[in-house]
Chain A
Amino acid sequence: MSTLVFPSIRGRNPAWLPVLAGPVVVAALYLVGAEAAFLIGTLSDRIFAPFWPPNIVLFCALLLAPPRLWWLYLLVVFPVHVVAELGVGMPLPQNLVAFATNAGIAILNATAARYLLGPLPWFDSPRKACLYVAITAVAGPAVVALGGAFVPILGGGSVDHYWTFWAQWCLSNTVSSLALGPVALTWLDERNRPTTHISTRALVEASALAAGLFLVCAFAFESGRNVAADGLLPTLLYLPLPLILWSAIRFGAKGASGAVLVVAVALLWRALNGPSPFIAETPEASVLAIQAFLIGLSIPVLLLGAAIDETRRAERHVRTSEERMAFAAIAADVCLWHFNYRSEQFWITDHGREMFDLAPDEPITRQLVFEAIHPDDRQAARDAIRSTTLSDYVIDVEFRIVRRDGEVRWIRARARADCNSLGQKIKISGSFADITGQKATENELVQQRHDLAHLMRVSMLGELSGSIAHELTQPLTAILSNAQAARLLLAEDKPDFGEVTAAIDDIISEDNRAGEVIHHLRKMLKKGEAKFEPIDFNELIRCTLKLLNSEMARRRIKTRCELSDGLVPISGDSVQLQQVLLNLIMNAMEAMNEVSPSRRTLAIRTEALQEGRISIDISDRGVGLAPAHEEKIFQPFFTTKERGLGLGLTICSSIIKLHGGTLNLENNPQGGATATLVIPGEQSRLVS
Chain B
Amino acid sequence: MSYITFLVDDDGGVLKALGRLLRAAGYDTRAFASAQRFLAEYDGNVPGCVIMDLTMPGLDGLALQQTLAETYANPPVIFLTGTGDISRSVQAMKAGAVDFLTKPVDGKQLLTAVERARLKDEAARRARRDREAFDLRMAKLTPRERQVLDHVVLGRLNKQIAATLGTVEKTIKVHRGRVMAKLEVRSVAELVRLTERVGLRPMA
State the Cβ distance, A105 to closest chain B Cβ, in Å. Answer: 110
Chain A residues near B107: list those with CB within 8 A: 480-481, 484-485, 488
8 A-B pairs whose Cβ atoms sit less than 8 Å apart in the complex = A473-B83, A474-B103, A481-B104, A481-B110, A510-B13, A553-B56, A554-B55, A556-B60
- How far is A469 from B81 in the complex, measured between Cα atoms in Å? 11
For B21, the closest partner residue in chain A by CB is A485
Docked-complex contact A474 and B82, CB < 8 angstroms? yes
Docked-complex contact B103 and A477, CB < 8 angstroms? yes
- How far is A476 from B104 in the complex, measured between Cα atoms in Å? 6
Docked-complex contact B17 and A553, CB < 8 angstroms? no
Q: How would residues 538 to 559 of chain A score, 1 for a CB under 8 Å from any chain B CB and 0 otherwise?
A: 0000000000001011101010
| B192 lies within 8 A of chain A by Cβ | no
For B20, the closest partner residue in chain A by CB is A485
Docked-complex contact A510 and B83, CB < 8 angstroms? no
Chain B residues near A552: list those with CB within 8 A: 57
Q: How would residues 552 to 584 of chain A score, 1 for a CB under 8 Å from any chain B CB and 0 otherwise?
A: 111010100000000000000000000000000
Q: How would residues 99 to 128 of chain B score, 1 for a CB under 8 Å from any chain A CB and 0 otherwise?
A: 000011111101000000000000000000
Chain A residues near B110: list those with CB within 8 A: 481
Docked-complex contact B55 and A553, CB < 8 angstroms? yes
Known contacts A474-B11, A481-B18, A482-B21; 20 further A-B pairs (Cβ under 8 A): A470-B82, A473-B83, A474-B82, A477-B14, A477-B17, A477-B18, A477-B103, A478-B13, A478-B16, A480-B105, A480-B106, A481-B107, A484-B107, A484-B108, A488-B25, A489-B24, A506-B13, A509-B13, A510-B13, A552-B57
Interface size on B, residues (CB 8 A): 27
State the Cβ distance, B174 to closest chain A Cβ, in Å. Answer: 62
| A152 lies within 8 A of chain B by Cβ | no
- How far is A502 from B21 in the complex, measured between Cα atoms in Å? 12
| A466 lies within 8 A of chain B by Cβ | yes
A-B pairs, 6 with minimum CB distance: A484-B107, A481-B17, A488-B24, A485-B21, A478-B17, A470-B82
State the Cβ distance, A597 to closest chain B Cβ, in Å. Answer: 10
Docked-complex contact A474 and B21, CB < 8 angstroms? no
Q: How would residues 1 to 45 of chain B score, 1 for a CB under 8 Å from any chain A CB and 0 otherwise?
A: 000000000110110111011011100000000000000000000
Chain B residues near A475: list those with CB within 8 A: 13
For B10, the closest partner residue in chain A by CB is A553
Interface size on A, residues (CB 8 A): 31
Docked-complex contact A481 and B55, CB < 8 angstroms? no
State the Cβ distance, B41 to closest chain A Cβ, in Å. Answer: 22
Number of A-B contacts (CB under 8 A): 94
Q: Tell me which of B17, B24, B80 contacts A479 (CB under 8 A).
A: B17
State the Cβ distance, A482 to closest chain B Cβ, in Å. Answer: 4
State the Cβ distance, A253 to closest chain B Cβ, in Å. Answer: 97
Docked-complex contact A480 and B13, CB < 8 angstroms? no
State the Cβ distance, A401 to closest chain B Cβ, in Å. Answer: 58
Q: How would residues 50 to 87 of chain B score, 1 for a CB under 8 Å from any chain A CB and 0 otherwise?
A: 00000111101000000000000000000010110000
For B63, the closest partner residue in chain A by CB is A556
Chain A residues near B82: list those with CB within 8 A: 469-470, 473-474, 477, 550
- How far is A476 from B83 in the complex, measured between Cα atoms in Å? 13
With contact pairs A469-B83, A477-B104, A488-B24 given, residues A553 and B13 touching in the complex (Cβ less than 8 Å)? no
Chain A residues near B23: list those with CB within 8 A: 485
- How far is A473 from B55 in the complex, measured between Cα atoms in Å? 13
Q: Tell me which of B16, B58, B104, B106 contacts A473 (CB under 8 A).
A: B104
Residues of B at the A interface (CB closer than 8 Å) are 10-11, 13-14, 16-18, 20-21, 23-25, 55-58, 60, 80, 82-83, 103-108, 110
- How far is A484 from B108 in the complex, measured between Cα atoms in Å? 9
| A250 lies within 8 A of chain B by Cβ | no
- How far is A475 from B108 in the complex, measured between Cα atoms in Å? 18
Chain B residues near A477: list those with CB within 8 A: 11, 14, 17-18, 80, 82, 103-105
Residue from A482, A502, A509 whose CB has the most chain B CB atoms within 10 Å: A482
Chain A residues near B57: list those with CB within 8 A: 552-553, 558
Chain A residues near B18: list those with CB within 8 A: 477-478, 481
**What does DSSP make chain A's interface, helix, strand, loop or mixed?**
helix
State the Cβ distance, A492 to closest chain B Cβ, in Å. Answer: 8
Residues of A at the B interface (CB closer than 8 Å) are 466, 469-470, 473-482, 484-486, 488-489, 499, 502-503, 506, 509-510, 513, 550, 552-554, 556, 558
Chain B residues near A502: list those with CB within 8 A: 20
- How far is A486 from B17 in the complex, measured between Cα atoms in Å? 10
With contact pairs A466-B83, A481-B105, A550-B83 given, residues A510 and B24 touching in the complex (Cβ less than 8 Å)? no
State the Cβ distance, A489 to closest chain B Cβ, in Å. Answer: 5
State the Cβ distance, B119 to closest chain A Cβ, in Å. Answer: 20
Chain A residues near B24: list those with CB within 8 A: 485-486, 488-489, 499
Chain A residues near B83: list those with CB within 8 A: 466, 469-470, 473, 550
With contact pairs A470-B82, A474-B82 given, residues A510 and B17 touching in the complex (Cβ less than 8 Å)? yes
State the Cβ distance, B102 to closest chain A Cβ, in Å. Answer: 8
- How far is A552 from B57 in the complex, measured between Cα atoms in Å? 8
Chain A residues near B103: list those with CB within 8 A: 473-474, 476-477
For A481, the closest partner residue in chain B by CB is B17
Chain A residues near B14: list those with CB within 8 A: 474, 477-478, 481
For B101, the closest partner residue in chain A by CB is A477
Residue from A477, A479, A481, A509 whose CB has the most chain B CB atoms within 10 Å: A481
With contact pairs A506-B13, A513-B13, A556-B60 given, residues A480 and B104 touching in the complex (Cβ less than 8 Å)? yes
- How far is A513 from B16 in the complex, measured between Cα atoms in Å? 15
- How far is A469 from B106 in the complex, measured between Cα atoms in Å? 17
Docked-complex contact B17 and A485, CB < 8 angstroms? yes
State the Cβ distance, A626 to closest chain B Cβ, in Å. Answer: 30
- How far is A503 from B107 in the complex, measured between Cα atoms in Å? 14
Residue from B16, B56, B110 whose CB has the most chain A CB atoms within 10 Å: B16
For B15, the closest partner residue in chain A by CB is A478
Docked-complex contact A481 and B21, CB < 8 angstroms? yes
Docked-complex contact B104 and A482, CB < 8 angstroms? no
Chain B residues near A470: list those with CB within 8 A: 55, 82-83
Residue from B14, B20, B108 whose CB has the most chain A CB atoms within 10 Å: B20
Q: Tell me which of B20, B58, B60 contacts A482 (CB under 8 A).
A: B20
For A470, the closest partner residue in chain B by CB is B82
Chain B residues near A473: list those with CB within 8 A: 82-83, 103-104
- How far is A476 from B105 in the complex, measured between Cα atoms in Å? 9
For A488, the closest partner residue in chain B by CB is B24
Docked-complex contact B60 and A553, CB < 8 angstroms? yes
Docked-complex contact A479 and B104, CB < 8 angstroms? yes
For A475, the closest partner residue in chain B by CB is B13
Chain B residues near A481: list those with CB within 8 A: 14, 17-18, 20-21, 104-105, 107, 110
Residue from B60, B82, B108 whose CB has the most chain A CB atoms within 10 Å: B82
- How far is A553 from B81 in the complex, measured between Cα atoms in Å? 13
- How far is A36 from B103 in the complex, measured between Cα atoms in Å? 126
With contact pairs A479-B104, A553-B55, A553-B60 given, residues A474 and B20 touching in the complex (Cβ less than 8 Å)? no
- How far is A113 from B25 in the complex, measured between Cα atoms in Å? 123
With contact pairs A466-B83, A475-B13, A550-B82 given, residues A484 and B60 touching in the complex (Cβ less than 8 Å)? no
Chain B residues near A503: list those with CB within 8 A: 17, 20
- How far is A480 from B60 in the complex, measured between Cα atoms in Å? 24
Docked-complex contact B21 and A484, CB < 8 angstroms? yes
- How far is A499 from B20 in the complex, measured between Cα atoms in Å? 8
State the Cβ distance, A624 to closest chain B Cβ, in Å. Answer: 24
- How far is A475 from B18 in the complex, measured between Cα atoms in Å? 12
Docked-complex contact B55 and A482, CB < 8 angstroms? no
- How far is A126 from B16 in the complex, measured between Cα atoms in Å? 104
